[in-house]
């Protein structure tokens, strides 16, 4: 019971501290409200990326396998929504920058990483939605879904670390490190790459 309590408190702190730190950034004073909303949608997306591998690996205490799967789907949908808000807000406030990013001609290196992560997230979500219609063997489907999710995580972490914005450096680094650790631990636990049938 105590272990579960500390696990959930730790997760809540990992999700909330970066948001609180960003909310106190002096850079917000010069930003348009829609731009701020878009930025915080990006931070929330990173929090979702921390939860997804933990749910996939069933590492959150107190959740049944069924509850973990359902929450994994719900967070996946929420992640796509947060990405759309993030990109949509930036589009409204600065269309040329978003166009350059989507065309991979932006002079800022973080833009390309963000765009790749975005499309990979959409691909992973589509595989999740159309899993049964695709009629793929489960292990092959899981390999594709997890591969796209992995691209999303790596791209998002590099994207976030390269941006010098409202996110406070230490909390941003800690959150990104936790995302990578959760992702790596889940890959090792589930052995996603092994698509052979097991007896």
pLDDT tens per residue across span 168-177: 999 999 999 9
Distance CA 63, CA 157 (A): 27
- Residue 193: pLDDT band (50, 70, 90) is low
Q: What is the pLDDT of residues 115-150, one digit of tens each?
A: 999 999 999 999 999 988 888 888 889 899 999 999
pTM for this model (two decimals):
0.92
Of 152, 194, 199, 157, nearest in space to 175 by CA = 157
Q: Is the pLDDT of residue 61 over 80?
A: yes
Distance CA 111, CA 107 (A): 8
């Amino acid at each position: 019971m105590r272990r579960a309590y500390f696990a959930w408190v730790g997760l809540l702190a990992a999700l909330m501290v970066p948001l609180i730190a960003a909310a106190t950034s002096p850079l917000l004073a010069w930003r348009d409200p829609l731009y701020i909303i878009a930025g915080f949608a990006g931070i929330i997306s990173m929090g979702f990326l921390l939860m997804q591998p933990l749910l996939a690996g069933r590492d959150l205490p107190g959740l049944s396998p069924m509850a973990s799967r359902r929450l994994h789907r719900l967070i996946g949908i929420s992640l796509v929504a947060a990405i759309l808000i993030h990109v949509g807000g930036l589009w409204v406030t600065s269309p040329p920058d978003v166009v350059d990013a989507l065309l991979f001609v932006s002079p800022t290196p973080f833009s390309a990483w963000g765009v790749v992560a975005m499309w990979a997230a959409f691909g992973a979500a589509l595989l999740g939605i159309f899993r049964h219609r695709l009629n793929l063997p489960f292990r092959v489907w899981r390999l594709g879904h997890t591969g796209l999710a992995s691209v999303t995580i790596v791209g998002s972490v590099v994207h976030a670390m390269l941006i010098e914005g409202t996110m406070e450096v230490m909390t941003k680094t800690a959150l990104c490190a936790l995302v990578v650790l959760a992702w790596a631990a889940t890959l090792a636990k589930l052995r996603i790459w092994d698509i052979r049938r097991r007896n």
